[in-house]
Amino acid sequence: MQVPILLDKNGKVGRLFGVWAHPTSYLIDRKGMVRYRSVGLVDWADSDARSIIEQLLNER
């Protein structure tokens, strides 16, 4: 599964979202709402993480 990612080189998005630690990951739904936030490393191949992603992708 491939998902788009944002690399915030200048920190603008980080300031908007209040990022205070790296890495911080967000999953944003189709409506632009933050649905998941994780501070620290995430194993995106892990079944729990994949389940969250699949749930969001299947929402209409």
pLDDT at residue 28 in the model = 86
Tokens representing residue 59 in the block: 């929402």
Half-sphere exposure of 32 (CA within 13 A, CB side): 1
User: Stretch 18-27: mean pLDDT, rounded?
Assistant: 86
Q: 47 pLDDT exceeds 90?
A: yes
Give the C-alpha separation, 25 to 38, whole Å: 5
Position 1 scores a pLDDT of: 63
Q: Which residue has the tokens 């933050």?
A: 34
Write the CB contacts of 26 (distance below 8 Å, at least 6 apart in sequence): 17, 34, 36, 37, 38
* pTM of this prediction exceeds 0.75: no
Identify the band that residue 46 occupies on the pLDDT scale cut at 50, 70 and 90.
very high
Do residues 3 and 12 make contact, with C-beta atoms less than 8 angstroms apart?
Answer: no
Q: Which amino acid is at 15?
A: R
pLDDT digits (tens, 9 = 90+) for 2-22: 777 878 889 898 899 888 888
